[in-house]
Amino acid sequence: MQLLQGVKEAIISDNINHNITKILEDSIKKKTFDVPDYLYVTDLINPVNSYYSRKYKEIEIGNDIYLRMKLGEEYHFMARGWFEQMDGFSGYEIPVNGSHLNLNVVGRIDFMINNSVIEFKLKSRENIEIEDLYKDYLSDLEQLLFYSVLNKNYSDINYLVFYSSGNFYAYKIHIKNRDNIINEMVYRIDLIKRGLYNDDISNFPRCTYFTHGCPFQENNVCNCSKLKLKDDKWIINSINISEDGELENSLNNYSIENTRLDIRNIDLIYPRRYYHRIRNDREIQAENRLKSTFNYDKNNIKFFMMDAIETSALAISSQEYALKIR
């Protein structure tokens, strides 16, 4: 009815063609704007990026961000070898969803020990303290908490692990109020969907990547400077954080040089995915880049699998791959 009313008013105005065209363009633009049925956990921890990445799909991530993402993925692959050696290791890249909480949210947990979620992050600083989690790594903490409540085998003890400058920093996160976290997720889902539908992010918290090479800021479409900072009070009232020296010591016993990486069952099931992980690894030129430890003998199944994929028509560009894993 609003569309018809707008067209009717345009017809009786002085500039018929211009007004009708503008009304139709605005209507089509609004109808084709992506308001998803479900969101990712990464949408919830950074609503502004969720909005801009949907509205400006043509804007690609910068090369610096892409290289950081690929370096982080490389270390995640290494971390799999470390965590697999621990007692109680129960999985990696575990898909979760919020259906049991009536939340249309999906995601993948990095690692699990027994029923505890482990969120692993690569950083580049000399030292990390507990206060840094609230000051600089609030989004990492939020991500862990959201995954923790989505975990059907919920545990109130979960872990945030950083690897930075050759050292591990492990923190035990004790959730004392799960309802606060669920309520925050409900709020953000509603915030994002209303923002997408109304094309309005004035109530969104400032982007996590503000001033850190954000492609939307570089393309002059970012409005983050006018947005409020994230509120961490709900987190402070929901958890207790403590250092976990025992976990740090266990991880420090697994040196990078001695970590054994090999093709696992999941890699045989998804060989194309494995291939691109290795292929992109060789493209990374970051300063402290992890040295490749992969050797493929031409007389074994690894060589035949990798060679077959590499000569096929399945390859995708590194840029496309990066966008798929964001």
Mean pLDDT of the chain: 75
CA-wise closest residue to 220 among 54, 56, 30: 56
Ranking 206-210, 216-220, 258-262 by mean pLDDT, the lowest is 258-262
Alpha helices, H only, 199-300 = 215-218, 233-236, 245-252, 265-269, 271-281
pLDDT given at position 290: 41
Provide the whole-model pTM: 0.69
For residues 58 and 217, what is the distance between their CA atoms, to the nearest angstrom? Answer: 14
Q: Which residues contact 284 (CB under 8 A, 6 or more apart)?
A: 67, 70, 71, 74
pLDDT at 144 over 90: yes
Bigger pLDDT: 85 vs 178: 178
Residue 228's pLDDT band (boundaries 50, 70, 90)? confident
pLDDT at 295 over 60: no
pLDDT given at position 297: 44
For residues 71 and 6, what is the distance between their CA atoms, to the nearest angstrom? Answer: 52
pLDDT at 172 over 90: yes
For residues 16 and 267, what is the distance between their CA atoms, to the nearest angstrom? Answer: 61
Bigger pLDDT: 83 vs 296: 83
- Contact predicate 118/84, CB 8 Å: no
- Contact predicate 209/140, CB 8 Å: no
Q: What is the pLDDT of residues 9-54, one digit of tens each?
A: 554 454 445 555 555 555 554 544 667 788 999 999 989 888 888 8
Bigger pLDDT: 306 vs 218: 218
- The amino acid at residue 293 is T
